Structure 1
Amino acid sequence: MTQHNLQQILNNWDIKFKKVRDDIDICGSPERAKFRIVVEDNDNKLYILENIHSKLFERKNIIAETSEYLEKKKLLGATSYLRNNKNEFLSLVPQNYPVDNNCCGQPRMHSQDEYWQVLPFVDGISLKRPKYVFDSWRGETSAQFLIDLKNKNKKIPFFDHNDVFSLSAYVLEITKSIQNHNPEIYNNIKSIIKYLQDNFFNSYEKLPVSFCHGDFHPLNIIWGKDKINSVIDWEFVGYKKESYDVANMVGCVGSEDLNGLIDGIVPGFIKALKEKNFLKKESWDTLIDFIIALRFAWISEWLRRDDKEMITQEIKYMNLLIKNKENLNKAWNI
């Protein structure tokens, strides 16, 4: 993409393009956008410019509205997308691409309208993996984010409280697909599915609902020296069972290093949440089972990437959680 193209796009936000900063890494999943890049303006300010799939326009707009709403509420770690000079978050910009040459040897251009959005770049300190899981302060700070989110999402206007993601339905849907297309893997998860059906799915339906980030884990946090600078990747934000974000955080730490479940982030995380009565008793009682069920989202991801090693590791992890459920509950005092 040329400098002219970039300036044409950034004109929608009255940003004066200076240069591309391809020396700067962008945190979060690159799959959230078709294309993304850090740009610097004439005032040396940094921005993330993202090219968005048109089919995601409505969802991306809701995410941007949510980030702005929460930033205005002064939520710890909320970073709002920027509104353009039409007071909108996404700009539709026509782009011309050469496709081939005409009979005279001149390039023929293809015109295509594309959506773009801009986010202020937030700098941070990279995590040292897996060593970071033993930093107890990260658990306490992460808990404070969730507490703050719970206190500041009241009457958020962009979501239907009755539109609640069903983890149990999701797990059963994935399981059916695995059974049909990956029978060998299905044979390895049958006992886990039976465990969840016998011990969790009925209880799951009765759990309280809350507004959740939807993908909360250490790698979706931009960390400062001793604080959270920003929380990113809000793609799955919405109403879910109240323990969703807690289960995802704990599950991801344990996946990074099993010892992190009993020392470091997780004990401090759970202790801080319990002190504020963040979850109801029934949500604490089913937390381990919730973590196990939620790991099916990662099974799905590894299947999509055809990563057999990670699938094997994930199944081993879920079985270890089942086997050590009682010990973990005692360690966490729940």
Structure 2
Amino acid sequence: MDGSPERSLERVAVEDEQGGLFLLEALKPETVDRKVSIAAALEALSLAGVKSLAPYLPHEPGRHILSLKDGHYQLSPYIEGSPLPRPEYLDQAWRGRAMAGFLVKLRRAWNKAGLTPEASDDFSLQDFVPDLVRKISARDPQLLKRISPALSLAEDFLPVLKDLPLGFCHGDFHPVNVIWGEESIRAVIDWEFCGMRPEMYDVALMIGCAGIEHPPAVSWNYVGAFLIELWKSGIYQKQSWENLFPLMLLIRFAWLSEWLRKQEEAMISLEIDYLNFLAKHAEDISSLFDSVQQSL
């Protein structure tokens, strides 16, 4: 099944009497309130016109979580997809255009639905990065030295966050969280981190995820087509475009935290190398992003 199984206690595909397939999830009790907010946000986005979703099904109007004596459950459509060809997708422009198209629809639906910060997980990079640095400094000073080139640049970038325009974002927007059709997006899944962010948060995260798979891919067809479509849409403010690279770099610290939490040594080393690669090539990558705007 697509998505992250760790986000629930258990997931199983079920079939109804008419042959319809659904995904039944047993929820961790501590996540129920958050799941209620996510379900409401997805319902509002769906009603506002975003079709590439798998919104949770209500068991009665406005109620998407079924709480029984033995636990809490939610149900969503089971959507079949095509495998993501990796790393071939990194040079497929149509996937970049599809990802951009989804963000355009999300932005316009958010404006129409009037989603509020109540749907947010209250995550803030401006608070998160310094807190992570303090924890690393106390627990593993050597690791702090290993990321010093990127950290120095990140500390310079942090102040720009407070002035960036905000928007409602998926929060974990990358192609593995997409159920792909043969030539389109069938659904975007795993909305656990959705909420109010700097408006280009999803953009920066997606490009960063392409780059960690293969750093030169930030200049390939997938990312290029993605950025061109977004620039043409006009949905983001100039200030956000000007700070796309700083946002991309800062988001990688959240990924480093994830690898540290899971104690995945190989990914920790890879993320450190990638952070320092981004720091070393900051001007080149920023110029690449600027060239997209100048070419249109």
TM-score normalised by length of structure 1:
0.82
Superposed CA RMSD in Å reads 1.8
Q: Does 1:196 align with 2:154?
A: yes
Specify which structure has the higher proportion of helix: 2
Instruction: Identify which of 72, 75, 86 aligns with 2:50.
Output: 75
Which of 202, 209, 219 is matched with 1:252 structurally? 209
Task: Give the Cα separation in 1 of the matches to 2:235 and 2:87.
Answer: 27
Residue of structure 2 aligned with 1:116, choices 73, 78, 83: 73
Q: 1:278 aligns with which of 219, 235, 257?
A: 235
Contact residue 121 and residue 194 of structure 2 kept, 8 A: no
1:329 shift after superposition: 2.9
Q: Does 1:56 align with 2:13?
A: no
Structure number with larger C-alpha Rg:
1
CA contact under 8 A between 1:292 and 1:321: conserved in structure 2? Answer: yes
Q: Which has a greater percent of strand?
A: 1
Higher relative contact order (CA 8 A, sep 6+): 2
Q: Unaligned regions of 5+ residues in structure 2, if any?
A: none
Task: Give CA-to-partner distance per residue, 1:291-319, whole Å, 9 cap, x none.
Answer: 11101111111111211221111111111
| 1:104 aligned residue | none
- In structure 2, the partner of 1:92 is 67
* Distance apart, 1:85 and its partner CA: 4.6
Is the Cα–Cα contact under 8 Å of residues 76 and 228 in structure 1 kept in the other structure? no
SS of the aligned residue for 1:283 comes to: helix
Alignment of 1:38-187 (within 5 A): 38-85=13-60, 88-94=63-69, 113-154=70-111, 155-157=113-115, 159-160=117-118, 165-187=123-145
**C-alpha contact 2:170 2:202 (8 A) present in aligned 1:** yes
Contact 2:150 2:278 in 1 (8 A): no
SS in 1 for 2:163: coil
Q: What percentage of aligned pairs have identical amino acids?
A: 35
Distance 2:83 2:119 in 1: 36
Moved more, 227-236 or 79-88: 79-88
- Between stretches 224-233 and 177-186, larger displacement belongs to 177-186
Distance 1:301 1:162 in 2: 19
Q: CA deviation at 1:31?
A: 1.1
Shift of 1:328: 2.2
**In the alignment, what sits opposite 1:303?**
260
Give secondary structure in 2 for the equivalent of 1:240: strand
CA positional deviation for 1:160: 4.5
DSSP-derived class of the 1:205 partner: helix
- Name the counterpart of 1:269: 226
Aligned positions, number: 290
- 1:92 positional shift: 1.4
CA offsets per residue over residues 69-104 of structure 1, 9 Å max, x none? 11112214122111115752111122xxxxxxxxxx
Give how far 1:158 is off. 5.0
CA distance in 2, matches of 1:261, 1:163: 29
Range with greater deviation from structure 2 (313-322 or 240-249): 313-322
- Distance of aligned partners of 1:160 and 1:329 in 2 relative to their CA distance in 1, 3 Å threshold: same
Q: Deviations over 1:236-288 (max 9, x none)?
A: 11111111110111001111122321112111001111111232222112211
1:202-250 deviation line (CA, Å, top 9, x unaligned) = 2221111111111111111111111110000110111111111101110
How many angstroms apart in 2 are the aligned matches of 1:259 and 1:120? 37
Partner of 2:3: 28
**Which residue identity does 2:136 align to in structure 1?**
I
Residue 19 of structure 2 aligns to a residue whose secondary structure is coil
Q: 2:273 is matched with which residue? A: 316
Q: Which residue pairs with 1:9 in the alignment?
A: none
